[in-house]
Structure 1
């Protein structure tokens, strides 16, 4: 009876071992993670990632200086005319400012793959100011069309300077880009995604 029981146990263990072995051999293997060049291609497909758009407005004043010429008498006449009829314009200018990253030029120097972990360095943040002339409110102006164009260009430059100096807006844009990249990298099988300023050194073998 004891021998029969031992044989039954041995047979059961053999069947279990065979079933486990078959399962391990037949189960689908996890897809291989993409290497760095393939990952660079995937990120480049994102092209220009627009991460944040803000609407702004600004009161702008502009008074162009009289243009100098090669003739002293013309300069005197221009200055006299300028003094009598100084060109000046004031307006409230509206704009949409877009912040984003251009991944189209990304290369493998900005990515490092180590196992299931990927480190990535973001490209420089780009700022694009889109003026809305149709919403511009002229408060008072005797500028001609060329001078009005200069006023709007002055406003555009002011918007761009302010946004580039705004740490909170830049941080919001960065967080948005980080979230987008994490979704992309997780979708292809990576389990750890780090967005860094400088790539860490490669792990030494052994």
Structure 2
């Protein structure tokens, strides 16, 4: 991620992001959106997203992660709005587990689109442009901390630590027969 991108001041982004979160949570379809996003948990099979969380447990972690995903989407919407609607600028670094939750949220396109329309924001998230280089002290961290206080480091895991944890997970996956972080396996089901 280039440090040469000139984004809006983190203070402005923080203020607008707080407003966006409040407006989304006050929307009449927010409860339905939350229920749909959390129900999506049956499809949460990524080997490299949520599993980087220590002692990951879907049942206890999904609600706090929903909060973090909403905050990340609000930060991105604020950057988009305040930064002249530049999609490249909007793809701020986001921690891998939080990014995975954003995917569960944007997998509810009709609900999210209606809520965003009523709130008057654009939800920007393009997988081929997303950045996982999140680190304490970076632009995202600064804006988040100004909006809601220090991010929960259980979910906002820095890029270097994510890579270290992925190395551990890769070794464990391979020992169990899963290859390339779950992108392949060595199971011939006709033998079982």
Q: For this structure pair, what is the TM-score category when the shorter chain's length is used for normalisation?
A: under 0.3
TM-score w.r.t. structure 2 length?
0.22
Structure ranking higher in helix proportion? 2
**Highest relative contact order (Cα 8 Å, sep 6+), 1 or 2?**
2
| TM-score normalised per structure 1 | 0.21
Larger radius of gyration: 1
* Larger strand percent: 1
